[in-house]
């Protein structure tokens, strides 16, 4: 593909060299550069791609896209295009390289602190159950129809993201559902994608190591809806205190779902059991295979999203009764001696509280709750003592252990958790650093 076509939508400040040249590949990773490649220098969290321009030139990149002032000694060795924002340019170039695949799909993005994986996955499962071709991009796995691919991030970088969307188009997919993380929005990974709809689940404390405060975190999430086109829909949780704020500046058609207020899509919980919940959606009764108020919110979002995509209500309700929980999301395992194990991804204080409350609601004081919990390394440290307090408050016995320490000392993570407890509470907690 010609370089001038790839940079056509970029906000170009300056060009040194010829852009009427063929490009053989694109990358923002200097280690992947091959002769004839276009290299986009993007400043990241840990490293700055501008520091690797020299390496990209050594590996015979023929075009460099950048957004910081450059010394001129490199200009004779390749074509240089300075843009206003390299991260935005990366998303635009990636979309152009793969033929703007999002425009050939009905793409729906799901954002929020908790529930993204469940809502996106259940929408994908529902559409597949109805006989339609679809793709999924999520924390757990990526799918192109029924073909599964491993995943490394909640939202992929723009090049991999557009590559997957192109795979979906080539495989004949009609629909695509994806999680949209706050990191991805802030880093422009989804910039320029054509969304037919956006769904907001909720907003609670998370990622404050990255966003610094809740206001910034909220505003980043909100910017996703601000950028939706007028032809799309924006669906939000009315019961979340930020639900209305999320949509206040969107150009998209606005819709809300709620368990408390009569809005566009109203739900109600009738009965709760460990095997499922009896609910009513838009006054239609059904039994779903999910437990917990938080899961009913997720299902209500799926129900509303499916109707906004034009699916028949009766068919949507029928399929809702068949859907099963996503792996690792309130996943129940029946054991001997009347013991039930529950595996849940809960990685925020709110998510952990929701899960434990859901268990208590079903137990109704007829059993004990033993909680095994850990906190991830190199992530928001302020939530660790809060999660510890919630675990102790809502459990009969608590075990603190390692989650994914990444590059942190596991003992330091446990210490942060223990700092949220009184001396009496600490003495009652079991700490297991290494479970092997």
Tokens representing 249?
Answer: 């500046």
Pairing of strands 12-16, 79-83: antiparallel
- Look at the pTM and tell me if it is higher than 0.75: yes
**CATH code at 3-97:** 3.40.1390.10
Residue 314 · residue 349 · CB < 8 Å = no
Residue 247 has pLDDT above 70, yes or no: yes
* Mean pLDDT score, 169-186: 96
- Residue extent(s) of CATH 3.40.1190.10 domains in the chain: 99-322
Which CATH architecture does the domain made up of 99-322 adopt? 3-Layer(aba) Sandwich (3.40)
Q: So what's the pLDDT on residue 436?
A: 72
Q: Which tokens is 391 given?
A: 């675990």
Rg (Cα) of the chain, in Å, rounded? 24
**How much of the chain, in percent, has pLDDT values that exceed 70?**
97
Segment 158-170, tens digit of pLDDT: 999 999 999 999 9
Q: Sort residue 292 into left (φ over 0), alpha (ψ -120 to 50) or beta.
A: left
- Give residue 77's pLDDT: 80
Q: Which fold has domain 331-432?
A: 3.90.190
The model's confidence at residue 419, banded by pLDDT at 50, 70 and 90, is very high
Query: What mean pLDDT, rounded, does the chain reach?
Result: 93
All CATH 3.90.190.20 domain ranges in the chain, comma separated = 331-432
- Residue whose C-alpha is closest to residue 356's, from 396, 383, 325: 396
In terms of phi and psi (left: phi > 0; alpha: psi -120 to 50; beta: otherwise), the region of 36 is: left
pLDDT at 213 over 80: no
Q: What is the pLDDT of residue 210?
A: 57
Q: How does pLDDT run across 67-93, given as a tens digit for each residue? A: 998 766 666 789 999 999 999 999 999
Residues of the chain with CATH 3.40.1390.10: 3-97
Interatomic CA distance for residues 426 and 253, integer angstroms: 50
Structure confidence by residue, pLDDT tens digits, 12-55: 999 999 999 999 999 999 999 999 999 999 998 778 999 999 99
CA-to-CA distance for 347 and 403, rounded, in angstroms? 10
Q: Give the confidence band of 362 by pLDDT, cuts at 50, 70, 90.
A: confident
Cβ-proximal residues to 94 (8 Å cutoff; 6+ apart), any chain: 26, 158, 159, 161, 162
What pLDDT score was predicted for residue 2? 96
Mind listing the pLDDT tens digit for each residue in 293-348? Answer: 999 999 999 999 999 999 999 999 999 999 998 888 888 888 998 898 999 988 88
């Amino acid at each position: 593909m010609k370089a001038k076509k790839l940079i056509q939508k970029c906000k170009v400040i300056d060009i040194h060299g010829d852009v009427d040249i063929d490009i053989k590949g694109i990358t923002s990773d200097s280690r992947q550069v091959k002769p004839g490649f276009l290299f986009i220098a993007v400043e990241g969290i840990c490293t700055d791609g501008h520091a690797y321009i020299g390496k990209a030139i050594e590996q015979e990149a023929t075009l460099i896209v950048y957004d910081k002032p450059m010394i001129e000694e490199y200009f004779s060795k390749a074509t240089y295009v300075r843009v206003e924002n390299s991260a935005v340019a990366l998303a635009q170039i990636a979309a152009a390289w793969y033929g703007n695949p999002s425009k050939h799909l009905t793409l729906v993005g799901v954002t929020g602190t908790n529930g993204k994986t469940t809502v996106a996955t259940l929408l994908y499962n529902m559409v597949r159950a109805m006989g339609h071709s679809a793709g999924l991009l999520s924390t757990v796995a990526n799918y192109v129809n029924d073909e599964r691919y491993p995943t490394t991030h909640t939202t992929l970088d723009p090049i991999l993201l557009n590559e997957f969307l192109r795979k979906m188009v080539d495989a004949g997919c009609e629909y695509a559902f994806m999680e949209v993380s706050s990191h991805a929005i802030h880093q422009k990974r989804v910039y320029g994608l054509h969304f037919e709809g956006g769904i907001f689940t909720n907003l609670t404390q998370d990622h404050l190591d990255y966003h610094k405060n809740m206001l910034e975190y909220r505003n980043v999430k909100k910017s996703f809806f601000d950028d939706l086109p007028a032809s799309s829909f924006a669906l939000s949780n009315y019961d979340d205190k930020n639900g209305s704020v999320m949509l206040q500046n969107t150009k998209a058609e606005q819709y809300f779902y709620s368990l408390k207020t009569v809005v566009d899509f109203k739900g109600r919980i009738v009965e709760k059991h460990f095997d499922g919940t009896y609910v009513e959606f838009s006054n239609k009764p059904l039994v779903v295979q999910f437990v917990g108020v938080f899961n009913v919110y997720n299902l209500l979002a799926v129900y509303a999203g499916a109707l906004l995509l034009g699916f028949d209500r009766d068919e949507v309700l029928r399929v809702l009764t068949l859907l099963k929980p996503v792996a690792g999301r309130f996943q129940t395992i029946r054991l001997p001696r009347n013991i039930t194990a529950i595996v849940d991804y809960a990685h925020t204080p709110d998510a952990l509280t929701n899960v434990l409350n859901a268990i208590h609601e079903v137990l109704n004081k007829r059993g004990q709750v033993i909680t095994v919990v850990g906190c991830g390394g190199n992530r928001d440290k302020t939530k660790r003592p809060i999660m510890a307090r919630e675990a102790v408050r809502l459990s009969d016995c608590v075990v603190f252990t390692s989650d994914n320490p990444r590059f942190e000392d596991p003992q330091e993570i446990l210490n942060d958790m223990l700092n949220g407890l009184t001396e009496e509470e600490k003495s009652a907690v079991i700490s297991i650093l290494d479970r092997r």
